[in-house]
């Protein structure tokens, strides 16, 4: 019989499992403590479980559904991990050591899919195409492995690696919920960010279900036709509709929605700043600016002075902004550069 990944279990599923095995429900919290807080890689290490229970679990379950294939370290300290799934796919995760203004914070950027179906022109993951969704266990184990291999404990998680989280909605939400369990990683919901290219159905469902994590939406343009050229998702998910949806439904009590904006030479004019202000005038948003990273996209990054001028315009218009520094460019670990390394054709 094929073993199933134990990290796919929610708390209630783990309780049912222990009930079936004739054990008390509190074993579930002990299990999460071993798997995530203590981050062990064998059932044998779970010393408050009986020998018999440990060997039953060993027979039925697998702890790690992904294995390290390669690790690269950037001159800025960023670490990129390439993992191989049990069925031979490749995914990448990135450990970022300084998070702009939040000095000293450690962030793990995780993948939600093998490849990606969204086809954004500036992103290398898109070039792989879509292979499959990741399971909750494959999502969670990226954090376990990066923590174990780096010896560092991160405080932040961003779903900004390979894939579109809202195309793998259930698994992503289940994984996020498990990250937040108090007897597991216990990562605060405020420190988990889910980033989408802007799928309206997903955003609406997310709001309706009152998911408590930070929401980030990749905007990247202010002119719909121009956005559609680089982000095909715009055609069926117009940004004007996203703005309307946020205005109509996003609760005032929540953290602002982050709009991510990849700056190119041709999308940061004074007019762009004005349009941005206008489209999102009533939504509670903040803007996260990042310069276009290298890739074979044929697009031009902006100069320092163009960036400075755009930032000034936005400041005058009172749009809250942060300018994000790019990390890990020399090892292909920066935003839009994750291409699973082994998928040769995707690398330029
Ligand atoms: N699919 C999700 C998450 C993965 S992309 C999303 O679209 O949000 C994570 C972020 O990287 C997005 O904001 C995306 O716009 C940005 N990105 C992609 N390619 C980039 C590049 N070449 N340079 C800078 N940022 C890039």
207-242 pLDDT per residue, tens: 999 999 999 999 999 999 999 999 999 999 999 999
Pocket lining: 172 vs ligand 1, CB cutoff 6 Å: no
**Cα 135–189–195 angle (5° rounding)?**
60
Rounded to whole angstroms, the Cα distance separating 188 from 176 reads: 10
Vertex 82 angle, CA 165 and 260, to 5°? 35
What is the C-alpha to C-alpha distance for residues 61 and 1, in angstroms, rounded to an integer?
Answer: 10
Q: Please determine, looking at this structure, whether the domain spanning 66-346 carries the CATH number 3.20.20.70.
A: yes
Residues 6+ away with beta carbon under 8 Å from 81: 68, 70, 71, 92, 93, 94, 95, 142, 145, 146, 149
Same fold, 4-62 and 66-346: no
Choose the residue to mutate in 124, 160, 166, 333 for probing ligand 1, maximizing ligand atoms within 8 Å of C-beta. Answer: 160
Segment (H or E) for 76: none
pLDDT at 103 over 60: no
pLDDT above 60 for 250: yes
Is the Cβ atom of 289 under 6 angstroms away from ligand 1? no
Query: Which of these, 300, 186, 202, 207, lies nearest to 257 by C-alpha position?
Result: 207
Known catalytic residue: 92?
Answer: yes
Domain boundaries, the chain: 4-62, 66-346
Q: Residues 156, 106: contact at Cβ < 8 Å?
A: yes
Of ligand 1's listed atoms, the one at least distance from the Cα of 294 is 22
The answer to whether the CB of 145 is under 6 A from ligand 1 is no
CATH code of the domain made up of 4-62: 1.10.150.530
Helix (H) or strand (E) holding 150: helix 136-150
Tens-place pLDDT, residues 276-320: 999 998 778 999 999 999 999 999 999 999 999 999 999 999 989
Enumerate residues 6+ apart whose C-beta is below 8 A from 84. Answer: 66, 67, 68, 69, 90
Residue owning the nearest CA to atom 20 of ligand 1: 336
Q: Does ligand 1 have an atom closer than 6 angstroms to the CB of 207?
A: no
- With bands split at pLDDT 50, 70 and 90, how would you rate the model's confidence at 125? very high
Question: What global pTM score does this model have?
Answer: 0.96
Lowest-pLDDT choice from 25-29, 33-37, 99-103, 191-195 = 99-103
> Any catalytic annotation for residue 335?
yes
Determine the pLDDT at residue 344: 62
268: CB partners within 8 A, 6+ apart: 302, 306, 307, 309, 310
């Amino acid at each position: 019989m094929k073993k199933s990944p134990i990290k796919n279990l929610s708390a209630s599923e783990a309780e049912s499992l222990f009930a079936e095995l004739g054990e008390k429900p509190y074993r579930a919290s002990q299990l999460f403590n071993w798997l995530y807080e203590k981050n062990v890689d064998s059932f044998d290490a779970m010393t408050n479980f009986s020998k018999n229970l440990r060997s039953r679990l060993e027979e039925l379950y697998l702890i790690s559904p992904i294995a390290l294939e390669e690790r690269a370290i950037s001159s800025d300290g960023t670490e990129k991990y390439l993992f191989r799934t049990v069925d031979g796919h490749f995914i990448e995760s990135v450990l970022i050591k300084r998070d702009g203004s939040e000095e000293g914070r450690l962030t793990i950027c995780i993948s939600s899919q093998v490849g990606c179906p969204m086809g954004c022109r500036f992103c290398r993951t898109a070039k792989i195409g879509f292979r499959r969704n990741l399971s909750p266990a494959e999502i969670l184990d990226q954090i376990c492995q990066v923590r174990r291999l780096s010896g560092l404990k991160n405080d932040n998680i961003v779903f900004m690696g390979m894939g579109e989280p809202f195309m793998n909605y259930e698994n992503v939400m289940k994984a996020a919920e498990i990250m937040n369990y108090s007897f597991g990683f216990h990562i605060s919901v405020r420190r988990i960010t889910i980033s989408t290219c802007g799928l309206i159905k997903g955003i609406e469902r997310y709001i309706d279900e009152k998911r408590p994590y930070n929401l980030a939406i990749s905007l990247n343009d202010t002119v719909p036709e121009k956005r559609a050229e680089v982000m095909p998702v715009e055609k069926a998910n117009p940004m004007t509709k996203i703005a309307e949806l946020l205005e109509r439904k996003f609760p005032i009590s929540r953290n602002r929605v982050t709009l991510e904006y990849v700056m190119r030479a041709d999308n940061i004019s004074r007019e762009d700043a004005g349009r941005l202000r206008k489209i999102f005038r009533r939504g509670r948003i903040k803007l996260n600016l990042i310069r276009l990273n290298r890739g074979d996209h044929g697009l031009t990054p902006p100069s320092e002075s163009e960036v400075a001028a755009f930032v000034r315009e936005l400041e005058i218009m009172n749009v809250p902004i942060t300018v994000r520094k790019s990390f890990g460019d020399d090892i292909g670990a920066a935003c839009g550069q994750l291409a699973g390394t082994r998928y040769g054709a995707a690398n330029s």
